[in-house]
A and B are shown apart, each in its own frame.
Chain A
Amino acid sequence: MQVQSMHFKARASEALADATLQANLHKFGSAGLAALRARAVVEYGAAEFEQLRDAAASIRDRGLDNLPALLERFEREATRRGATVLYARTGTEIRDLVLEIAARHGLKKAVKSKSMLSEEAALNDALQGAGVEPIETDLGEYIIQLAEEPPSHIIAPAVHKSKDEVSDLFVKFHATERKTDIPALTREAREVLRSHFLSADLGISGANFLIAETGTGAIVTNEGNGRMVTTLPRVHVSITGIEKVIPTLEDFATLMRVLTRSATGQPISNYVSVFTGPKGAGDADGPEHMYFILVDNGRTGLLGGEMQEMLRCIRCGACMNHCPVYKTVGGHSYGWVYPGPMGSVLTPSYVGLEKALDLPHAATLCNQCGVVCPVKIPLPDLLRTLREKQVDRGLRPPIERLALRAWAWAAQRPTVYALGTKFAARFLRMLGGGDRMVSHLPFAGGWTDGREFPSGPGRTFRELYAARKKR
């Protein structure tokens, strides 16, 4: 997928001006997944859930600390059970491997369950180009495939669309009578997708986790499409990041408790599909051939460094569900595969700091994301680290650097600082006028374009306090 993250500001501005999108985002923000998570945590027990977060974080850390050994174990076990394990370093290599598999088995139609890695690799375009028809089968992914848009949320990809917009798309592409209620729309999608499931010869899925001790992949869905994708077509390809490998099935059970509650507030998703090797001799169903493509695409660059904690991420989406910025501008503003706080850390880390300069700064550092993250990733700290890297590499605008240097220089010199603030306080007071509200701040128009700036009384605390002491 093309990286558009340099245009965050412009895209955010467009998002703010789009009344339909704002209404959809507002609905998501006020009655969305954050509220469901909160209820689930109360039901589970807030203190117990905290313990679960600790346990989940430590499982992920153990996995990452032993990554090479775990991957070898996974490969050995998966291979022993008849699957083929392949590795891709980049998005291009993912595409090449999938197309090679399609060519080898003569595959013509791919049904897909949600895979963010397929977005990283822009796989659908490549499949189409090679004459393999890709059909997204997660309802949200299906909707945005019709709309030719990228996902705007990692677990609710079409959350930016209203019911009416979906109705319009279905009329256009299904050539059916317009439906307005959600069950009828869902039924229509199911009917269309059913024929694709039955006629596809390739199933492409991601994997929420890879379990090393059994060579198993696992996916979590609510629509059952994942199970169809991984069992019906004669070839199944599961594409996932190398960091998703965990030691045991027991660990998988622990992580599941925290994943679905954090994502949608469900104690467990409607479907949990685990796949271990292709169809065996006595099996009723399953693919004839099964491949795992384990992807690096920037991940090893984070291993062993100050950003490693980000690799704990289990893709629940809680950080974006709770993010004031995401809830205001939506996922497309972030300009690559992953939006919200996790995206603002992952995008510059995977595609390059200089290609996503705004993202680490597009956060208030409110830490709402950090306190809900099921694996306790300190997202604000990581964003701050990325800001430091930008400064170290000289990537910040010269005027910003100059202003910061001047401020830091003065703030270390109390006499200079006192003089500067004395004038600044008077200047602000003068601009503020009778109601003490500044409507246009020179050098900080970003503030006063949408707000007044309360000017204060024109004397600093320092001055007033000194005067009072003299009295």
Chain B
Amino acid sequence: MRVGLFVTCLVDLVRPSVGFAALELLEAAGCDVTVPATQTCCGQPGYNSGDREAAKALARKVIAEFEGFDYVVAPSGSCSGTIKTHYPHLFDDDRGMRERAERLAAKTYELTDFLASVAKLARVPGRFDGTVTYHDSCAGLREMGVKAQPRALLAKVPGLAVKEMATPEQCCGFGGTFSVKFGEVSAAIADRKCDDVEASGADALVLGDVGCMLNIEGRLRRRGNRKTKVLHVAEVLAGRDGRSE
């Protein structure tokens, strides 16, 4: 299986350990992984800001970089969701591009979905001694159908137990540029998520999107919580603590 790893721009900039974790997991699942060196961003910031032309330009770039692989995998429901559910509509008026976008969409996966449903990863390299609570990031959940897959994989991690929070499907308030444009509202929404995370009593919050991680961890720390770890699901599965690059 030739897999193109779409690292995502946030992982590249602030959380490289997620990229390495994804790479290790895919290789552990027996995939032949390539990380195209020219990749940058899927274009979602432009798309969600109303700049359709910028989004189309970046979509063309991603399609050209990744269409040669059997699968495209991203450690993010949000970025994989952009490729899978939104790219084809960007080219409603361009039949050739639309078909290429649809072909790419059909083989694009969120990491845990790919590991659980396609690669059927049997054993995970990681170990975690403690309890974790899982936040269902919106795009992963509602665009990519990611819900059972990360939990099934976490169940394979020795020493780990999942303690569900009350409303894991409730948005954390990140919303991309929303988090800066409406920072006050965004932080207030994140506050409720933090209440929920803390009430679960788990040692770590685990989730599958770096945007939401930055938001929730940023709010937890500002509230003075230094205790609850915030980890990407790939890091936990690969046995990384988020600082090991």
Q: Could you tell me which A residues sit within 8 Å of B by CB distance? A: 9, 12-13, 16, 29, 324-325, 328-329, 361-368, 370-371, 384, 386-392, 396, 400, 404-405, 407-408, 410-412, 414, 417, 421, 424-425, 428, 435-437, 444-457, 459-462, 464-466
Contacts and interface: CB of A to CB of B under 8 A. Distances in A.
**Interface of B, helix, strand, loop or mixed by DSSP:** helix
A453 B211 CA distance: 11
A120 B39 CA distance: 49
A400 B181 CA distance: 10
Contact of A446 (B17, B51, B183, B221): B183
Task: Give chain A's interface secondary structure class.
Answer: helix
Contact of B12 (A362, A370, A435, A460): A460
B70 interface: no
Interface in B1-37: 7, 9, 11-17, 19-20, 35, 37
A421 B218 contact: no
B188 interface: yes
B142 A367 contact: yes
29 contacts: A13-B184, A328-B185, A328-B189, A363-B178, A364-B171, A364-B173, A366-B138, A366-B142, A366-B171, A388-B52, A391-B51, A404-B45, A407-B45, A408-B51, A414-B38, A424-B13, A428-B14, A449-B183, A451-B219, A451-B222, A453-B214, A454-B15, A456-B13, A457-B17, A457-B243, A459-B245, A461-B7, A464-B20, A465-B20
Interface string B36-50: 011111010111111
Interface stretch (B53-61, B95-103, B150-158): B53-61
A465 B38 CA distance: 13
Contacts of B61: 412
A14 to B, nearest CB: 11
A447 B181 CA distance: 8
Interface string B167-198: 00111011111111111111111101000000
Interface residues of B, number: 66
A457 B24 CA distance: 19
A325 B215 CA distance: 15
Given A324-B171, A449-B187, A461-B11, 19 more contacts: A16-B185, A324-B192, A362-B185, A363-B175, A363-B178, A367-B139, A371-B142, A384-B47, A417-B40, A445-B183, A446-B186, A450-B183, A454-B213, A457-B17, A457-B243, A460-B16, A461-B12, A462-B12, A465-B19
A452 B185 contact: no
Contact of A425 (B14, B139, B143, B185): B14
A412 B11 CA distance: 18
Contacts of A446: 179-184, 186
Contacts of B110: none
Contacts of A450: 183-184, 186-188, 190, 219, 222
B183 A464 contact: no
A454 B186 contact: no
A364 B168 CA distance: 16
Contacts of B203: none
Nearest to B177: A361
B245 A457 contact: yes
Contacts of B245: 457, 459, 464
Contacts of B139: 367
Nearest to A432: B14
